[in-house]
Structure 1
Amino acid sequence: MQVFKFGGASVKDAKGVKNLINVLNKTGYKNTLVVVSAMGKTTNALEVVITDYFNNKSALQSSVQAVIKFHNAILLDLFDDEKHKAYKKVTVLFNELKSFLDTNKSPDYNFVYDQVIGFGELVSSVIISEYLNDVGLKNHWIDVREFIKTDNYYRSAKVHWEETQERITNNFNRTQLNITQGFIGSDSNNFTTTLGREGSDYTAAIFAYCLNAQSVTIWKDVPGVLNADPRYFENSQLLHRISYREAIELAFYGASVIHPKTLQPLQRKEIPLFVKSFLKPENAGTKVCKEAGLDPQIPCFIVKKNQVLISLSSLDFSYIVEDNLSEIFKLLHLYKMKVDVIQNSAISFSVCVDNMYQNLDKLLQHLKAKFKVTCNENVSLYTIRHYNNEAIGQLEKDKEVLLKQLTHETMQIVTK
């Protein structure tokens, strides 16, 4: 059993869907599960729909129509006959979306987000499944929400592993080509949940774990895992082989090629993960596996944009000790702040966080009751794994450094 995951960039248009066929024909697709993301920038477009739903109802119909129009153009490029059942299936899904937006009574942004955003993956997987059938790659479309069960922590749901394992064991047919959606699952009330942004990789890992798969391959628009994101760093290099431990470290610090949760289930069963280019499927790409080390052994650069640096000091110059730290972390948890860096001294404490749930103002109001608070928004967090002096100098050049931290293998700086 092999599990393939195709991201949005690989199926951003009809040409991408046709190239997916090329990849499957070159690699083989017997006993294969294909996990697909939403097409192109559909997730971003659906986020506009959600924003309009809450803040600009007059624009809602237009933003929904933009998503429908994008997918209709792909349908027209793939299917000559407009009476093809693919059109009907996609129309049914978009009618479900519009019905939800018309009838929903919940004011909970995170709940609404998850009910809306998953339509990108559902529509994408239907189009791809139907096209594969048309060109002779017979497959079975499955609704991932019937297999992956989670709690109801919307936008970052946690998997109920026992129930998920049972459903996959009892209901998944290994002997055929299967197509399903990444990123989404469902809770005990069968409402759609999401596994966190970029969670399609995690979906592939969940299935691989439950199926005892031979391998997982993530098909990207890059040659494999690079030592730096080429959008932000020059002269990035391909990493040929990475240990699970090193890959988990890179993911934790924000490397965008592999989702942080993806590696843990694979590591438990020593299932290798390959990251390859969908443009050159014959190339080796990157292998993430049990073997120790990093090949080649070079500095790895990671950046997280749009972070928030919060610095606290005591109002009376007393020490910031265990009681204070405990209270601070309880508040960070309460307001769902993802902590990326912490640094403290006798009378100060700094933390760099991701304000994903837009609770910053509430957090700051709470903190100001007991601490002197300084807040810098829209900062960047840079991390170097296996740093050297040259790499540090290269990174700090022409930047205002607000915070710097070095450990044996990792350096991090927060900059304006």
Structure 2
Amino acid sequence: MRIFKFGGASVKDAEGVRNLIQVLQETGTEKTFLVVSAMGKMTNALEAAVDAYFEDKDAVTPAMEAVESFHLDILRDLFPSEGHPVYREVRRLFEEVRGFLAWNKSPKYGFVYDQVVGYGELLSTTIIGQYLSEEGIENTLLDIRRYIKTDANYRDVRVDWTQTQKEIAALSGSSKLFITQGFLGSDENNFTTTLGREGSDYTAAIIAFCLNAESVTIWKDVPGVLNADPRYFEKTRLLNRISYREAIELAFYGASVIHPKTLQPLQRKEIPLYVKSFLNPSNPGTQVGKGINLDPKIPCFILKKDQVLMKLSSLDFSFIVEENISEIFKLLHDYKMKVDLIQNSAISFSVCFDNRFGQLPGLLQHLKGKYRVKHHEGVSLYTVRHFDSKAIASLLNGRDVLLEQRGKETVQLVIKT
């Protein structure tokens, strides 16, 4: 079985859906498993509806109407006859999510988020599955929530690998074309859970691991894995081949082309990963595999924007030792901060992290009772793998460096923006 993952950019409109068909026609459809994300920016749009639910109930209806209008526009382009059954299916999904928002009693943001935002993937796969059928490509639409089982730590779940493997293994041996949702799972009570932003790559890896897949291909709007994000860096270059280890390092430091959790399941079973352009499917793209040297071996740049840099020192100038560091990390965990860099001296501890769930005020209040706290919000964290002096100089360019950390192959710079 081959696993193909198509992200939101690849199916952002009707033309993108048609292009997906062309990719399948070129690559074939036998023994293929499609994992599809929400269309375009619909995850963001549904997040806005969740925020409105908690902050301004009057804004929920227009937020949901915008999401519905977006999908209906795509439907009208792909299925000119509004009598087509897909319209009924799409409206049923919108009725479900509106029904949930009407009867839900849970005050927990994470729970509501997962129940609502997951409809982006359910809508996209419903539309694409029907369009594949319309174009004569036989397919089976699966609800991935039946197969990927997780705990109930909403928005940041752990996969129950034993149960998930049992469920997905039932699909092995089939020559069908399957289509399913990325990003989603379900807990033991069958409530929807999500695997984290950009989690559709991880979904593809989970399925590949459980089916002992031949390969995984992530179809992107770039030629493959580049040495930098072209949105922020000029003159980027394609990495033709990289090892699992190198790809894991790049993902760990924040390279957006591959989800950080994606690579380890593939590495364990040595399943090749390809990152290719859905605009030029015949091009080779990037191959990720075992024992492959970085080709070409050039500096790789990673940028994480809107980070928080925090420096702690003890109020009595005593040493920051294991007990303090353990306590600090527990608080970072409790407030769901994603730590990207740490540095400590005898009397201070610095940490750069992503305030992904907006809980910084609570964390600062907690820490100020015991430590002297200085922090900078909105900083940028630059990481350069295989750096050289020219690569570092290109980043500095008169900027204010707040923190620098160097290793043998990697340098990290926290820069004030």
Report the TM-score, using the length of structure 2 for normalisation. Answer: 0.99
Question: Per-residue deviation at 1:199?
Answer: 0.3
Q: How does 1:28-107 map to 2 (within 5 A)?
A: 28-107=28-107
Q: How does 1:270-309 map to 2 (within 5 A)?
A: 270-309=270-309
C-alpha offsets along residues 32-83 of structure 1, whole Å, 9 cap, x if unaligned? 0000000001011101101111111111100100000000000000012111
Is the CA contact 1:32–1:174 (under 8 Å) kept in the aligned structure 2? no
Which stretch has the larger CA shift, 215-224 or 170-179?
170-179
Question: Per-residue deviation at 1:173?
Answer: 6.3
Is the CA contact 2:241–2:292 (under 8 Å) kept in the aligned structure 1? no
**Corresponding residue number in structure 2 for 1:199:** 199
Which stretch has the larger CA shift, 325-334 or 280-289?
325-334
Provide closer, same or farther for how the CA distance between residues 172 and 130 of structure 1 changes in structure 2, counting only shifts above 3 A: farther
Is the CA contact 2:406–2:412 (under 8 Å) kept in the aligned structure 1? yes
Is the CA contact 1:8–1:40 (under 8 Å) kept in the aligned structure 2? yes
Question: Per-residue deviation at 1:365?
Answer: 1.0
Provide the secondary structure at the position in 2 that maps to 1:295: coil
Separation of aligned partners in 2, 1:376 and 1:174: 54
Question: Per-residue deviation at 1:170?
Answer: 2.2
C-alpha offsets along residues 252-281 of structure 1, whole Å, 9 cap, x if unaligned? 000000000000000000000000000000
**Corresponding residue number in structure 2 for 1:366:** 366
Q: How does 1:246-325 map to 2 (within 5 A)?
A: 246-325=246-325
Separation of aligned partners in 1, 2:66 and 2:334: 36
Letter in 1 for 2:405: Q
Separation of aligned partners in 1, 2:110 and 2:325: 28
**Corresponding residue number in structure 1 for 2:400:** 400
Letter in 1 for 2:175: T
Aligned residues: 416
**Corresponding residue number in structure 2 for 1:181:** 181
Q: Which runs of 4+ in 1 moved over 4 A?
A: none
Provide the secondary structure at the position in 2 that maps to 1:90: helix
Question: Per-residue deviation at 1:98?
Answer: 0.3
The gaps in structure 2 that reach 5 residues or longer are: none
Separation of aligned partners in 2, 1:173 and 1:94: 34
Separation of aligned partners in 2, 1:15 and 1:326: 52
Question: Per-residue deviation at 1:336?
Answer: 1.3
Report the TM-score, using the length of structure 1 for normalisation. Answer: 0.99
Q: CA RMSD in A?
A: 0.8
C-alpha offsets along residues 350-403 of structure 1, whole Å, 9 cap, x if unaligned? 000111122111111111111100011111110000000000010111311110
Q: How does 1:335-374 map to 2 (within 5 A)?
A: 335-374=335-374
Provide the secondary structure at the position in 2 that maps to 1:294: coil
Separation of aligned partners in 2, 1:363 and 1:292: 42
Letter in 2 for 1:97: V
Provide the secondary structure at the position in 2 that maps to 1:93: helix
Separation of aligned partners in 1, 2:306 and 2:331: 21
